[in-house]
Amino acid sequence: MLNKAEIKKEYYTHKEIDDLIAIKIMGWHKYRDPIWDGASVWEDEEGDWHGTVEDFKPSENMNDAWEVAKKLKMSVAPQISNNTVHWCASIEGYSSSAVTNKLAEVSICLSALEYVDISAKIEESDISKLFRGVW
């Protein structure tokens, strides 16, 4: 579980954002399974598993990010300015949740965290690492 000091900081790693999304948005908690050699999995209130903690990466994986967007009924749209595409993610009825970023996954995650009142940023150098080899 994340403590208040971990939640109230300015910059987050992708892993910290992924954990916050799983806990605060998806409503999951970590469960260490003794059968799977002690692997940690995300478990919901009904006891259903949602994959390993290491595999859920909505700030880097678009499939995981879409699960977050669907849960919050988000709008995600590209915006083009000066031949550069940015993605805007927002939750209807919560104008303060609108976030624009170079990556749709990051926009979705940061918008979701704004929705639960956690203002988060990812270092620009951390984002640019995701672009390597993409173009």
Cβ-contact 102, 128 below 8 angstroms: no
pLDDT tens digits along 13-30:
889 999 999 999 999 999
CA dihedral 85, 20, 30, 48 (to 10 degrees): -60
Q: Does 3 have pLDDT greater than 50? A: no
Single out the residue of 94, 58, 99, 96 nearest to residue 76, CA to CA: 99
- Residue 50 CB neighbour total at 10 angstroms: 16
Single out the residue of 37, 42, 38, 11 nearest to residue 26, CA to CA: 42
pLDDT tens digits along 39-79:
898 999 998 988 889 999 999 999 999 999 999 999 999 99
Token pair belonging to 27 = 């409503």
Quote the mean pLDDT of the chain.
Answer: 81
Q: Which domains does the chain have, with CATH numbers?
A: 4-131 (3.30.2120.10)
Q: Please identify which residue in the block is written with the tokens 């909505």.
A: 58
